Amino acid sequence: MKFVTKFSVLVAISMLATGCVTQRGVEPSESVPTEINVDKSSSGDQTNNDALDKEVDGSEQASEDEADEANEPIEVPKQKIGVFINANEFPSHTHVGTTKFNNFSKEYAYDWQIASTLFTKLKAAIEQSSRFEVVDVSPKVKGAWQLDFVVKQDNNWSFNENQNALRKSLLADGVTKIIIVQEAPTVAITECGTYGCSEHQSEGFGLFTRSFLGTDYYIASASFDISIESLDKPVDIASKPLFKELKDDAMKNVRIEEFVPPEDFDEVTEKELAPIKDSIISYFDRLAETAAKYFSNQ
């Protein structure tokens, strides 16, 4: 009996010892770490895919850039229209009296800036069309006599061979058309009577006056000769119907009904000449508008 009891005690002690080892060895809440195996080949594939995506994106961006460049409008060179203006610096006063002994022509030192005003108006009107550029050709020209590029022979227009060198030089600079405005005498007034008609000329731009037996006429004289020619083909543009009125001396010389007679007929002041200047500038406006209309329709 004692033996059984002792044996039972030994078994119990043995079981307790086993339980302690189990508790001290591994806690129930603890877990054994598991080794994570990473597939290295998968990582390499991802890197290759990223590189391919970048390459595709770059190719697409390049294609978009090329498409944008292709869609950009191509700038067409502007057609150059040359302008040459030959005019005196100051306005003049031409007077025709009852007899030739009363006639005179004089110049007033009033700075009307006629040439620069006309050039500015031509440039502003013509360049409203983005196809044109107006340039001053006076640095290449000695005189208006050099600019007679187109002549008429047997009812046909042809180039003046004597001016071929200058014409080709202007063409090389991109000038295909040219406008020449030269101060020149014009018929300011025509008087007709029993014995026929007589014409009286204005010698230059400014004031023209006519006195006859106590009657005075005051005329604003835009006394200029207008020529417009093509340099790449023989065409006298100014001879076209559109410019007919502008080349008519009657349109260049306008009677100013409201003109106030000057206090000193021999020394007309700049203020007294203001209506004359305004009328001449108005002629420039019509010339510029007509030229712009012609070129814009070409």
* Predicted pLDDT at 23: 44
Tokens of 218: 């005051």
Query: CA 139, CA 12: separation in Å to the nearest integer?
Result: 130
pLDDT, residue 141, reads 87
As to burial, measured by CB atoms within 10 angstroms (0-12 exposed, 13-18 middle, 19+ buried), residue 51 is: exposed
List pLDDT tens digits, range 238-268. Answer: 999 999 999 999 999 999 999 999 999 889 9
Residue 154 confidence (pLDDT): 81
Q: What is the pLDDT of residue 50?
A: 57
DSSP state of 115: H
Q: Render 231-274 in DSSP notation, one character per residue.
A: SSS--BGGGSGGGTGGG-HHHHEEE-TTPPPPSSTTS--TTTTH
**Structure token digits, residue 21:** 């080892």
- Please identify every stretch of the chain with a pLDDT value under 50, giving residue numbers as ranges: 1-6, 9, 11, 13, 16-17, 20-36, 38, 40, 52
Stated pTM of the model: 0.73
N- to C-terminal Cα separation, the chain = 139
Q: Are strands 150-153 and 224-230 parallel, antiparallel or unpaired?
A: unpaired
Which residue type sits at 115? A
CA neighbor of 110 nearest in space, from 284, 273, 281: 273
Distance CA 228, CA 263 (A): 41
